[in-house]
Amino acid sequence: MGFCPELGASATGALPTRRPTPACRAFLLLARGLAVDIPPPERVSLDVKMQRLNIEWADGHASVFPLDGLREACPCAECEGKKVERIPKPGVLHIFRQKNRWKNVRIEKAGSVGLRITWDDGHRGGIYRWDRLRELQPAE
C-alpha cells in the first residue's frame, strides 16, 4: 500500500473510485513541482582556488556559483536557504569580497537528484537539487 492508495488501480484493473485525501493531493502537487524539466548536468567541477562551483548543462548553459553564495543557499532545514532567490555569477574581484575563504570543500553526487556539499565548517546537511541549482542561476 503506497502513500496514495486511493489513486492506484484495483486488483481488477478498475479505475479508483475514492477521492484522494487532502494529504494525497498535497503530495501529488509537491511531486508535480519537483518534476521540473531541466537539462541534466554534463560536467561539474569545483575550483577551490577561485572559490567557484562550475556546472555545464546539456543545453549549453554554464552556471558559475561563488562558494559563499552556495553556502548561504544551503537547502537543509536548519539553514533555510530557500530565502535565497538568485546567486549572481561571480565578478572578477568576487574572491576578495567573500566573507569566508573555503579551503576543504568537497562535492559528491547525491544519486540522480543533485549534489551534497561538505563545507569547512562541517556542515553537509542539504542536497542541492539540480532543479534548485538551475533556478538559482537560470540561463540568460
Which CATH number does the domain housing residue 124 bear?
A: 3.30.2020.30
Residue 30 covered by a domain: no
Task: Band the pLDDT of 19: cuts 50, 70, 90.
Answer: low
**What is residue 35's predicted lDDT score, i.e. its pLDDT?**
45
Residue 112 covered by a domain: yes
Query: The sheet that has 52-57: what strands, in order across it?
Result: 41-47, 52-57, 62-66
Query: Tens of pLDDT along 38-57?
Result: 889 999 999 998 899 999 99
Query: For the residues 52-79, what does the mean pLDDT come to?
Result: 91
Residue 62 covered by a domain: yes
DSSP string computed for 53-114: EEEEETTS-EEEEEHHHHHHT--STTTTGGG----PPP-TTHHHH-S----S-EEEEETTTE
Phi and psi for 26 in degrees, rounded to 5?
-60, -40
Residue 73 covered by a domain: yes
Structural domain boundaries enclosing 114 = 41-136
Q: Who has greater pLDDT, 36 or 125? A: 125
Q: What's the first-to-final CA gap in the chain, in angstroms?
A: 44
Domain count within the chain: 1
For the record, the C-alpha cell of 55 comes out as 556546472
Q: Cα separation of 70 and 101, whole Å?
A: 13
